[in-house]
Amino acid sequence: MSRSWRAPILPGATVGVLGSGQLGRMFAIAARRMGYRVHTFSPDDDTPTGQVADLEIKASYDDLDAVRRFAQSVSVVTFEFENVSSAATAAAAEFAPARPSGEVLHITQHRRREKTFLRDQGFPVTQFEVVNSLDQLPHAIAELGLPAVLKSAGFGYDGKGQARIHSDTDLAAAYQQAGGGECVLEAFVDFECEFSVVAARALDGGFAHYGAVENEHSNHILDVTTAPASIPAEAARTAIQITRGVLEALDVVGVLCVEFFLERSGRVLINELAPRPHNSGHFTFDACVTSQFEQQLRAICGLSLGSTELLRPAAMANLLGDLWANGEPNWQAVTALPDVKLHLYGKASPRPGRKMGHLTAMAPDAEEAAERVRMARDLLTSR
């Protein structure tokens, strides 16, 4: 059943979140501050989102009747992560507007669909070949050359479901490492840096962005984000224009992040999309007039977008479960720093590679902010 909702959803209404991780937690904090109620739906309980939501529903995303009941109790449904099935999204949309739409999620949760969409729309993407079997992999390599990166077509994140392929790589092992089944082989990009643009599009088509921010990764997981990015102004302008074009082409209502490569030649290429608030936008919670989480709320509720002004240069550092290897981190040391903000996500069990929280540092310039946030994180393991 297709319906259209255009009236603004005002404070006092209830917002539903499919998913219950740290992105939903920070969204719920922003929503409750503005007077909204928040319900969250996921297969787990005592979740990062559930700890601050008004109501936590534990049920499978495949339980479509439960999804329908959930949607009937809220005024709008949004997503904390993109890997919600099309069937669940459609079930929710029978009773409440789903923003961004199920079609946006359908495209962006699958690498082949995402890259094909971007290429067909004329956006600059890395060269790629679709690989549906091990037998097809040598042909794809012949088309793109080596080195290359083989990625699972669906449900990959933080480097999972990926394999780097060189001339001496065991192709069968790489194919299994990428998950087997449908994969995408991407040409290797000799990049100067990785950066991203987090932006929002309102129900009336209004657009707002947080500028280009620079991202450094460790073991395929985002490690430090610095705002603003130290890239040429022309590259930043190009990336923002591309980001706006992507949101408009997808007809996004909500927040979306576009991750980019800056080639050594100066060319900007899209790496991938995330149709939700993004790890590289966490600094906005402390350093911007309007955080990416409040912006998501404003967009999905049909309100005007808020100012994205950066109050001070900032840097964000992820806190992974590895920091707990030798006991509880030294919270007292880091909270003694007046220009560093601590965010913990309420996850009970730390493990290597698991995102447990983040730090944000602010300073007179971006380089100093990055130095401060790294220093602060180092203090967590000091005794």
Domains of the chain: 14-98 (3.40.50.20), 127-187 (3.30.1490.20), 191-379 (3.30.470.20)
Q: What is the mean pLDDT of residues 322-349?
A: 96
Q: What is the mean pLDDT of residues 117-133?
A: 97
pLDDT tier for residue 159 given thresholds of 50, 70 and 90: low
Q: What is the DSSP letter of 20?
A: -
Amino acid in the structure at residue 132: N
User: Among 77-86, 190-199, 230-239, 340-349, which is the least confidently predicted range?
Assistant: 77-86
262 has a pLDDT exceeding 70: yes
112 has a pLDDT exceeding 60: yes
Q: What is the mean pLDDT of residues 229-244?
A: 98
Q: Please confirm whether the linkage preceding 352 is cis (ω < 30° from 0).
A: no
**By C-alpha distance, which of 309, 209, 295 is closest to 260?**
209
User: Among 46-55, 85-94, 150-159, which is the least confidently predicted range?
Assistant: 150-159
pLDDT for the residue numbered 369: 98
205 has a pLDDT exceeding 50: yes
Q: What is the DSSP letter of 272?
A: E
157 has a pLDDT exceeding 80: no
Q: What is the mean pLDDT of residues 161-166?
A: 92
Q: In whole angstroms, what separates CA 149 from the centre of its chain? A: 21
CA distance 91 to 67: 7
**Is the four-CA dihedral 366, 370, 376, 379 of positive or negative sign?**
negative
pLDDT for the residue numbered 286: 98
Q: For residue 372, what are its two tokens?
A: 């401060």
Q: What is the DSSP letter of 141?
A: H
CA distance 142 to 49: 46
Q: What is the mean pLDDT of residues 246-258?
A: 98
pLDDT tier for residue 7 given thresholds of 50, 70 and 90: very high
Amino acid in the structure at residue 357: G
pLDDT for the residue numbered 156: 59
CA distance 33 to 49: 14
pLDDT tier for residue 343 given thresholds of 50, 70 and 90: very high
CA distance 219 to 233: 29
- Tens digits of residue pLDDT in 77-92: 999 988 888 899 999 9
pLDDT for the residue numbered 4: 56
Alpha helices in 17-134 (DSSP H): 22-33, 64-72, 86-93, 102-108, 111-120
pTM of the model: 0.95
pLDDT for the residue numbered 86: 86
Q: What is the mean pLDDT of residues 61-65?
A: 96
- List, in order, residues 6 or more apart from 28 with CB less than 8 Å away: 17, 38, 40, 49, 52, 53
Q: Please confirm whether the linkage preceding 329 is cis (ω < 30° from 0).
A: no
2 has a pLDDT exceeding 60: no
Q: What is the mean pLDDT of residues 29-51?
A: 98
Would you say 5 and 75 are in contact if contact means Cβ atoms under 8 Å apart?
A: no
Question: To the nearest whole number, what is the mean pLDDT of the chain?
Answer: 95
Tell me whether strands 268-274 and 207-218 are parallel, antiparallel or unpaired. Answer: unpaired
3 has a pLDDT exceeding 90: no
Helix (H, G, I), strand (E, B) or coil at 41: strand
Q: What is the mean pLDDT of residues 239-256?
A: 98
CA distance 183 to 175: 8
